[in-house]
């Protein structure tokens, strides 16, 4: 038998070779491959082939499961290979490395019970028939494309392979490189092997690869989906497992702290990304020596973050009647303000999701802005927190310092949330007009982000680092001076002006609110201390000079304190404070009635000014002396007032003759203009009419009526321009017993806002030019 084989060896056409039936594998000419064999017949065939000429015939089985294949179980086309290497493994398994030599048809299979042999006939791999080059080119492109997609599923595939495929311009080489390197189904491979026409080979290859890619894509999708569902379900398990591992590595005690944190973080109502970031910190902590500075920083950080009211919302319980009752109970008067606030609450009630409504309560200090904000919080059923912005000049005040700074802290917004203990509190930004900006950054831009409903759902504090949702919070701001609020901030707010109180209103506020409140705070019963009406009136008149009621409240508190001391010491059981007792209890009178002149005088005019404590009556004095034309201005007058004085002089020169004034007065005289109470700074253009009137009176010697007060800006030609703060100013005139107030014609509509008490007591004269003012004010 051996002879026969040997004798056949020389024959090119027909040959008898030891044969291995392949399960699920197909070899190709030129292809190097390795495979394992375990069946006795296969092992024997290889051993014998090695002893012979080292050549072997490989032919695939139709079905991989057939153990002892007959000819009918095998394909008809196989490949003759050279055995390159054989490795014997235990259990009679053999690893074989072969290289394909040529394609051959199976003519006849022989089985001697020991090994398989076959008579084979060489057959060409490729037919020599001509093919259409354009078609080949098109097919090559398709194959390259699909191969590129295929390779994307195998990140470990060598780059060179991809390059060599993509740059290949021979159809045969392309076919071979792709076929040898792709993991195709053995049936597909068999088809490719049997096919000889290169065009057909390429198109079969393309079809096989396409379906392979499709399967891979589907597989990927399924993987992703299962992975994400596992992610959700298993993440917690995984993290806890990780915890356990850390615990094992560290000592119990050291790790315990870190796990407490991890447990708390896991329970936090916070987005996944933030949770991961916090877990990372806890992880870091677990690996640090517990007494290290860094561990301390992380602990402080985690404590602060965990302490924040993540996802803690108070349930809004809003009813308009209740809101109205709360506002009414806590505050006297303020009718218009209460109405505006109820409107605001009504909108909130109808649309709780409404965003970007920010109220700015504007007005002088002590007028009740803070306490109204507290009442709104109460009415809305929200927690209350206050952030004072006065003098804040560093952005870090708002946003905090990075935690790596020594002594770093979160900013005021986060601190307020901590205080409030809820993620939907009402936050009061007090004195937003007092924000300053300098080189340390602009805090107002940070405030913009806080107040902007589009951005504040992910507010970032530098210290906290993970975003906090502020969008459910309600913001209220307060300001003394609306014009000092940075414009972009003001844009976002709805301003509600709180006017200053009349003495009458202050009296009611004191009697109905401040006295009971202070009694309670000092532990006194209403029966123990009485402050009679005259005493309250006198406190208002002689001990306070303010638009609001803060000093009034302080004085009442002082009375309570002193009385409490006497009662506690047993000196008295019941005390009644009367007007005449005040000097003894509160000291000498601090303020006398406004400095209005009670007598018609030359060169003295009652002006009306608007200051931070509300309106004041401000007499203006002008003195003319022989001199060289100097103008002196005193009494803390600002630049605008100084300019007004120059306008006044120019105007007076133009009308000098009409009032019997020497037109050369400005050359021969020095003029001194003064506003008493020199320590109080005053500025603004609204003293124009006052100054001019005083100047003309001083130069002409005509006295000015003492019961007239005035306000208004002037032009060089003597026109009277409108001014602001009319309500406050007229209040001051009313307090000073003024009978006539001259106002600019353009301010006439503002008269509507003025208190009835004031309107009844004062005659208002509206004017367009200075001549009209002088007609009223000068006694002749
Ligand atoms: P602001 O915030 O405007 O400076 P506050 O709200 O601190 O003023 O008010 C000072 C005090 O005056 C508070 O005790 C407040 O309750 C009281 N108060 C102010 N206005 C009224 C009012 N209309 N009715 C009752 N109390 C008032």
Instruction: With beta carbons less than 8 A apart as the criterion, state whether 326 and 378 touch.
Output: yes
CA distance 624 to 513: 51
Mean pLDDT taken over the chain: 86
Q: Which of the residues 686, 697, 700, 735 is marked catalytic? A: 686
**pLDDT, position 746:** 93
Q: What is the pLDDT of residues 202-212, one digit of tens each?
A: 999 999 999 88
Question: So what's the pLDDT on residue 726?
Answer: 87
The b/e string for 359-387 (b: 16+ C-beta within 10 A; e otherwise) is bbbbbbbbbbbbebbbbbbbbbbbbbbbb
Answer whether residue 356 shows pLDDT above 70: no
pLDDT at 171: 92
Give the Cα separation of 757 and 540 in Å (integer). 18
pLDDT in tens, 94-117: 999 999 999 999 999 999 889 999
- Contact assessment for residue 362 and residue 408, using Cβ atoms and an 8 Å cutoff: no
- Residue 56 to residue 98: CA distance in whole angstroms: 9
What is the CA(421)–ligand 1 centre distance, in A?
Answer: 25
CB of 333 shorter than 6 A to ligand 1: yes
pLDDT of residue 510: 94
- Structure token pair of residue 99: 């290289």
Strands 708-710 and 740-744 come out as parallel
Neighbours of 308 (CB within 10 A): 20
Cα 345 to ligand 1 centre (Å): 20
Cβ atoms < 10 Å from Cβ of 209: 22
Q: Residue holding tokens 């298993």?
A: 234
700 classed as catalytic: no
Residues 6+ apart with CB under 8 A from 214: none
CA of 509 to the centre of ligand 1 (A): 9
pLDDT at 563: 92
pTM above 0.85, yes or no: no
Whether residue 348 contacts residue 354, with contact meaning beta carbons closer than 8 Å, is answered with yes
The Cα–Cα gap between 689 and 699 comes to 15
pLDDT at residue 703, rounded to an integer: 93
Please report the pLDDT score of residue 101 as a whole number: 94
**Nearest Cα residue to 614 out of 381, 360, 366, 334:** 366
Ligand 1, atom 24: nearest CA belongs to which residue? 331
Angle at 622 between CA 616 and CA 625, to 5 degrees: 165
Pocket flag, ligand 1, residue 364 (CB < 6 Å): no
Instruction: Mention every residue, 6+ apart, whose C-beta is less than 8 A from residue 42.
Output: 20, 21, 94, 115, 116
Give the residue from 612, 595, 614 showing the smallest Cα distance to 726: 614
Note the pLDDT tens digit of each residue in 439-494: 667 788 888 888 888 888 889 999 999 999 988 889 999 998 888 888 888 888 89
Separation of 589 CA from ligand 1 center, angstroms?
Answer: 24
Q: Say what the pLDDT of residue 10 is.
A: 39
**Looking at the predicted structure, is the pLDDT value of residue 526 above 60?**
yes
Asked whether the beta carbons of 281 and 301 are under 8 A apart, the reply is: yes
Per residue in 340-355, pLDDT tens? 999 988 888 887 777 6
Q: Which of 376, 480, 548, 551 to mutate to test the pocket of ligand 1 (most atoms within 8 A of CB)?
A: 548
Those residues whose C-beta lies under 8 Å from the C-beta of residue 6, and which sit 6 or more positions away, are 52
Give the Cα-Cα-Cα angle 212, 213, 215 (nearest 5 degrees).
Answer: 65
Q: Which atom of ligand 1 is nearest to the CA of 517?
A: 14
Q: Whose CA is nearest to atom 21 of ligand 1?
A: 368
Reported confidence tier of residue 268, pLDDT bands at 50, 70, 90: confident
% of the chain at pLDDT higher than 90: 42
**With 50 as the cut, is the pLDDT of residue 424 above it?**
yes
For residues 597 and 37, the model is more confident at: 37
What was the pLDDT predicted at 4?
Answer: 35
Concerning whether 729 is annotated as a catalytic residue, the answer is: yes
Q: How far is CA 703 from the centre of its chain?
A: 63
**Average pLDDT rounded to a whole number, residues 350-374:** 86
Question: Is residue 283 very low, low, confident or very high in pLDDT (cuts 50, 70, 90)?
Answer: confident
Ligand 1, atom 26: closest residue by C-alpha: 331
The pLDDT of residue 437 is 64
Percentage of the chain surpassing pLDDT 70?
A: 92
Cα 293–chain centre separation: 30
Taking a C-beta distance cutoff of 8 angstroms, is the pair 498, 362 a contact?
A: yes
- The whole-number pLDDT of residue 613 equals 65
The two beta strands, 93-111 and 77-89, are antiparallel
- pLDDT above 60 for 720: yes
The one catalytic residue among 383, 472, 682, 729: 729
**E strand intervals along 458-596:** 474-479, 493-497, 529-531, 575-577
- What pLDDT does 260 receive? 84
pLDDT tens-place string over residues 290-303: 778 888 888 889 99
More confident residue, 780 or 543: 543
pLDDT of residue 266: 87
Which atom of ligand 1 approaches the CA of 365 most closely? 4
The overall longest dimension of the chain from CA atoms, in Å, is: 155
Tell me if 549 CB under 6 Å of ligand 1.
Answer: yes
- Report d(CA 480, CA 611) in Å as an integer: 10
Of ligand 1's listed atoms, the one at least distance from the Cα of 363 is 3
């Amino acid at each position: 038998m051996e002879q026969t084989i040997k004798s056949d060896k020389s024959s090119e056409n027909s040959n008898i070779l030891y044969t291995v039936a392949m399960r699920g594998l197909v070899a190709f000419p030129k292809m190097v491959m390795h495979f394992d064999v375990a069946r006795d017949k296969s092992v024997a065939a290889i051993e014998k082939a090695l002893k012979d000429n080292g050549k072997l015939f490989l032919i695939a089985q139709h079905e991989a499961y057939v153990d002892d294949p007959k000819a009918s179980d095998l394909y008809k086309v196989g490949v003759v290979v050279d055995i390159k290497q054989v490795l014997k493994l235990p259990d009679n398994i053999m690893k074989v490395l072969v290289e394909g030599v040529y394609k051959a048809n199976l003519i006849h299979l022989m089985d001697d019970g020991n090994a398989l042999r076959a008579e084979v006939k060489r057959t060409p791999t490729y037919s020599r028939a001509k093919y259409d080059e354009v078609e080949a080119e098109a097919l090559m492109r398709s194959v390259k494309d699909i191969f590129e997609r295929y390779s994307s599923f195998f990140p470990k595939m060598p780059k060179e392979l991809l390059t060599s495929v993509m740059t290949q311009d021979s159809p045969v080489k392309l076919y071979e490189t792709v076929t040898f390197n792709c993991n195709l189904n053995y049936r597909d491979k068999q088809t490719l092997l049997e096919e000889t026409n290169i065009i057909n080979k390429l198109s079969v290859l393309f079809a096989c690869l396409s379906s392979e890619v499709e399967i891979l894509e589907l597989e990927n999708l399924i993987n992703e989906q299962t992975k994400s569902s596992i992610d959700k379900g298993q993440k917690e398990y995984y993290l806890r497992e990780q915890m356990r591992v850390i615990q094992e590595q560290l000592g119990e005690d050291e790790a315990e702290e870190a796990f407490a944190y991890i447990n708390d973080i896991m329970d936090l109502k916070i987005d996944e990304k933030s949770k991961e970031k916090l877990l990372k910190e806890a992880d870091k902590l677990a690996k640090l020596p517990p007494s290290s500075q860094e561990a301390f920083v992380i602990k402080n950080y985690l404590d602060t973050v965990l302490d924040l009211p993540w996802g803690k919302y108070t349930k809004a319980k809003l009813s308009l009647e209740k809101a109205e009752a709360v506002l009414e109970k806590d505050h006297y008067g303020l009718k218009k303000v209460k109405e505006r606030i109820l409107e605001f609450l009504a909108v909130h009630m109808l649309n709780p999701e409404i965003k970007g409504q920010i109220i700015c309560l504007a007005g002088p200090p002590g007028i009740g802005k803070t306490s109204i904000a507290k009442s709104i919080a109460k009415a809305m059923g929200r927690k209350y927190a206050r952030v004072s912005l006065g003098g804040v000049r560093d952005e870090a005040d708002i946003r905090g310092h990075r935690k790596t700074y020594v002594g770093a802290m979160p900013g005021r917004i986060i601190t307020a949330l901590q205080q409030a203990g809820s993620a939907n509190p009402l936050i009061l930004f007090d004195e937003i007009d007092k924000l300053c900006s300098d080189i340390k950054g602009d805090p107002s831009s940070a405030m913009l982000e806080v107040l902007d409903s589009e951005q504040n759902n992910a507010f970032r504090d530098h210290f906290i680092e993970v975003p906090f949702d502020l969008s459910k919070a309600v913001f209220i701001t307060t300001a003394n001076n609306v014009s000092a609020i940075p414009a972009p901030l003001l844009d976002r707010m709805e301003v509600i002006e709180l006017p200053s109180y009349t003495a009458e209103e202050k009296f009611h506020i004191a009697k109905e609110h401040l006295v009971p409140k202070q009694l309670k705070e000092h532990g006194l019963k209403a029966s123990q201390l009485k402050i009679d009406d005259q005493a309250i009136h006198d406190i208002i008149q002689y001990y306070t000079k303010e638009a609001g009621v803060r000093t009034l409240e302080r004085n009442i508190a002082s009375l309570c304190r002193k009385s409490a001391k006497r009662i506690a010491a047993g000196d008295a059981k019941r005390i009644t404070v009367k007007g005449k007792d005040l000097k003894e209890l509160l000291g000498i009178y601090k303020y006398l009635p406004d400095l209005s002149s009670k007598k018609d005088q030359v060169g003295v005019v009652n002006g009306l000014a608007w200051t931070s404590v509300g309106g004041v009556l401000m007499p203006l004095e002008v003195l003319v002396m022989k001199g060289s034309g100097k103008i002196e201005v005193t009494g803390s007058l600002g630049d605008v007032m100084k300019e007004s004085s120059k306008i006044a002089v120019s105007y007076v020169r133009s009308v000098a003759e009409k009032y019997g004034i020497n037109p050369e007065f400005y050359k021969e005289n020095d003029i001194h203009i003064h506003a008493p109470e020199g320590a109080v700074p005053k500025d603004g253009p609204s003293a124009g009419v006052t100054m001019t009137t005083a100047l003309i009176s001083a130069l002409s010697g005509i006295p000015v009526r003492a019961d007239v007060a005035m306000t208004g800006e002037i032009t060089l030609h003597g026109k009277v321009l409108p001014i602001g703060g009319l309500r406050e100013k007229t209040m001051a005139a009313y307090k000073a017993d003024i009978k006539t107030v001259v106002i600019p014609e353009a301010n006439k509509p503002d008269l509507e806002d003025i208190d009835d008490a004031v309107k009844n007591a004062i005659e208002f004269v509206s004017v367009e030019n200075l001549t009209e003012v002088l007609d009223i004010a000068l006694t002749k």
